[in-house]
Chains A and B, each alone.
Chain A
Amino acid sequence: MFFLNLSLPEFLAVLGSLSSVVVALYLLDRLRKHHTVPTLRFFAAIEKPPVLKHRRKLQQPWSLLLQLISLLLLLLAIAQLRLGSPARYSRDHVLILDVSPWMAARLGPNRLIDQARLAARNYVNALPLADRVMVLRAGVLATPALLFESDRKKIQQAINQTQPGAASLNLQGALDFAQQAQRVQAQRPGEIVFIGAARIPSNEAEAGRLDPPSNFRFIPIAGPTEHVGLRKISVHRAMDDPDTWEVFLAAKNYGAVPRSVPAVVNFGGAPVATHRFDLKPGVEESYSFRFKTRAAGWLEARLPPQDSFRQDSRAVLELPPRGIVPVTVYSSEPDLLRPVFNAIPGIQPNFLPPGKYDPKVRTGIVVLDNFAPPSLPATDSIWLNPPADKSPIPVRNIEASVKLNQWLADHPLGAGLRARDIEIPSAEIFRPAPGDITVARAEAGPVIVARPGTPKMVVLGFHPIRSGMKYQLTTPLLFANIVRWMAPDAFRSWELTAGAAGTVDVELEPETDPNNVRVQTEDGASLPFTIEGKTLRFFTADPGIVRVLAGDRELVYSLTLPQPGDTVWQPSHVKVGLPGRAPAGPASRDIWQWLAIAGAIGLFADWILYGRIDQRIRAAKGAPPSEFLRKAS
């Protein structure tokens, strides 16, 4: 027999206090009552008034005793008096299973997750039958697989379905979740049990942030001690040559002895680099190299599969083909423009006479030099000194000896253009429509106007090669800006990285506009992210490919390279290992319902026998009216 809700001293203290209050109220109720009456003559007429000398003498001792007993019964019900032993009482436990990638490592014939599932089943079997268990899978997120449940079959099923994940272990998050679940959902909290290898990042272990609760039990699963794995592989185009890729490769020795491991990098099945990592215990080393290709293909980095955890021995990245923008130049003087377009990387110019104009061209960029086609091109176009009456941007007038002196520097079309006082013998002055972009302006008005939309269009009111711009650096820069504005995808820089799922931090370029940043999954769905300063952060618990589009930069993350924790957590001052088997037999039994009913019956009986009901009945009956009063009324 024991109390569930109160300790014995607490119970006695509450009982004593309440009993004192009841006795005090009882005596107060029986104190002399004061009344003002119209006359005392009839009270004086009562024979031998029973004036009591002892005012506090108990008038109805059975009423007081009944009240006190009822109070005792109700208090026992509140304290939840139980028959049986406290050891047999059912509790709610949280079983945390480690589902970090490391649990897929093998030790002997079995994986670590198999050992963890076996330990979990043993733990559940050691619990009393009435105990309830919540199964919580701890990866980078804590995911409940089963809420508090006493059905052993359901618990076993939830344990057996547990598999290793792709993201590293967030142990503190799992412990917080378990404590919260016990606070909110558990009727009587039991233990919080962690079963797993408990490999966590070294920074988390060193910071001492892990704080196991007092009811924590740790069942460690021993794993292999020696392991070397890839930590990171990233690829991006070289700044000096867009056809060259720069590859960065990092590997780490997680074991306790030095290791010498060869790494092989293949592209399209053919080796492009080999390197031998000589790794001391706990040390991470990197290796960088370049290789040149225009073709798309799979880049694979591989370590020899010689240890028990093979998931991080191989990483694969898909390299995209280099984009080429076709530019069709319709000009009767192609030699004038040829040097300009040949100098722009990433485009493939094709020079044709105006007579071969094809309005059906729908890809690339069309350049119209000194002529206007009968129908507007269906793709993006650059117009050079079009006829005044056929210009797509209305010409206000034609000015001679125009001085170009103002550029739209804060727009991609005018980026880097600072030349002033450029002499132009004759220029068309445009009348731009609302929404048009004035790229360059003379004193007389706009001379270069861009029209956004689909297709895009840029109209120059003069021929740059025949004007004072011929020998200016501004001319190739202007055309490069126009081509980049019209075909940004072709000039986007690529960076591919293989890493682990979880939280990913991306360093953005200083000039990146946060409003133009997007994070997408492999199927194009947007992924939530935050930008703090110049660091973008996003989270994904599932392995896969995530694209970060930041202006003209695209970063591709292949989050398929699992990362085991650096260190094995070894808590102190906690219960370790499986508990002893619970005593057989039924759990302790609740009797608070019967106690509450008995207490209520006692109070009701007191009310009937001695309480207000008695007084009301007496008052309702009243004294019979005398014969005289009947006549008088």
Chain B
Amino acid sequence: MKPQPLIDSALLEKLERLAIRWQKSFPGLVGGHNISHFAGSGQEFLDHRQFHHGDDLRAVNWRAYLRLEKLFLKMFQVEPRIPVRILLDCSNSMATGAVSKFDYARKLAASLCYVGLVRLDTIGIQPFGEHLGDSFLCGGGRHRFIPAVNFIENLKPAGRTSYLQIAREFISKYPQRGLLIVISDFLDDAGCERPLQYLSDFGHELILVQVWANEDREPDWEGQLDLTDAETGATLQIGFDDAARRNYIDAFDAYARDIQKVGLRNGGRYVGISTATSIEEAVFGPLVRSGGLE
């Protein structure tokens, strides 16, 4: 039986009219599509400044020199090419649920990758669990999408999540600041608020995409439960009833609210998506509304 493609061609056609947007101004080489307040070799005039030794003579405003006999340098607004990195959670917690969150996250990552490639962005796909895994870098057009999809399809969920560890590894591995899209369930027993804050403080712009299954937020079980943590293997025996279910949902929502705060307070964005939502609805709905795509 032929394997089901990760994303069908109809969705890809629709994705072509989207582009990944970021809010921060990053320095970088020209070629991007988001305006930066850093001056560079752009087309749009930004300002004048005094000429200093070593400046490019081609940018000197010779008309002003003839009139004032002083050297002024013209500065232009640059649209830099910014690295877009997609951090994809590959821990065991993503493999739970009736509809696998991991499969959903892979499709979402592939969709964002395609949007970036169409706009000639440089996309880095970085799987992670307890540590950063082998990454995949692609750019230069849509024809690079197939290798990216193959890389995503070959990913397997394993191990546990340690956001603190991956924040350290990421900062040391990628010194250039850029847009960081984190697709995860953000379920780390040690908490992920501080590591995400570190990444933001380092200068990255965060788009946090929280994926959850319906039973993650609202378990429909009843009675005596024997629960096992998918990542740590820890067990818990409880009696589960309507009151316990309500408490559970409140705790889940509170945690998701904390993640949202981390994303928004540093100029980033937050999107919470249930696996019951189709990929197309997720992309053209919450992700576009959040401003991450337009």
Contacts and interface: CB of A to CB of B under 8 A. Distances in A.
A597 interface: no
Contacts, number: 129
B229 A39 contact: yes
Interface stretch (A172-180, A311-319, A556-564, A616-624): A616-624
A38 B239 contact: no
Interface in A571-619: 615, 618-619
B251 A38 contact: no
Interface stretch (A27-35, A63-71, A223-231): A27-35
B257 to A, nearest CB: 5
Given A50-B239, A623-B246, A37 B256 contact: no
Contacts of B274: 633
A39 B224 contact: no
B237 A628 contact: no
B285 interface: yes
A47 interface: yes
A55 B217 CA distance: 26
A36 interface: yes
B253 A628 contact: yes
B239 to A, nearest CB: 4
A80 to B, nearest CB: 39
Interface in A130-159: none
B253 A36 contact: no
B130 to A, nearest CB: 15
A609 to B, nearest CB: 14
A33 B226 contact: yes
B239 A632 contact: no
Given A45-B251, A46-B251, A632 B220 contact: no
B216 A38 contact: yes
A30 B224 CA distance: 8
> What is the predominant secondary structure among interface residues of chain A facing chain B?
loop
A30 B96 CA distance: 24
B286 interface: yes
Given A32-B237, A39-B93, A623 B224 contact: no
A33 B247 contact: no
Contacts of B271: 632-633
A401 interface: no
Contacts of B224: 30-33, 52, 55
B230 interface: yes
Contacts of A33: 221, 223-226
B222 A615 contact: yes
A51 B247 contact: no
Interface in A250-303: none
Interface string A477-507: 0000000000000000000000000000000
Given A46-B238, A59-B223, A36 B249 contact: no
B294 interface: no
Given A45-B247, A51-B239, A623-B245, A32 B220 contact: no
A38 B96 contact: yes
A147 B93 CA distance: 74
Contacts of B272: 629, 632-633
26 contacts: A33-B221, A33-B225, A34-B227, A35-B226, A37-B216, A37-B219, A38-B185, A39-B93, A40-B227, A41-B189, A41-B255, A42-B251, A42-B255, A43-B236, A45-B251, A49-B239, A51-B238, A52-B224, A619-B220, A622-B218, A626-B253, A628-B253, A628-B256, A629-B253, A632-B210, A633-B286
Interface of A: 30-47, 49-52, 55, 59, 615, 618-619, 622-623, 626, 628-629, 631-633
Interface of B: 93-94, 96-97, 101, 185, 187, 189, 210, 216-232, 234, 236-239, 241-242, 244-249, 251-253, 255-257, 260, 270-274, 277, 285-286
Q: 6 shortest A-B CB distances, which residue pairs?
A: A632-B272, A50-B239, A38-B93, A49-B238, A32-B224, A45-B251
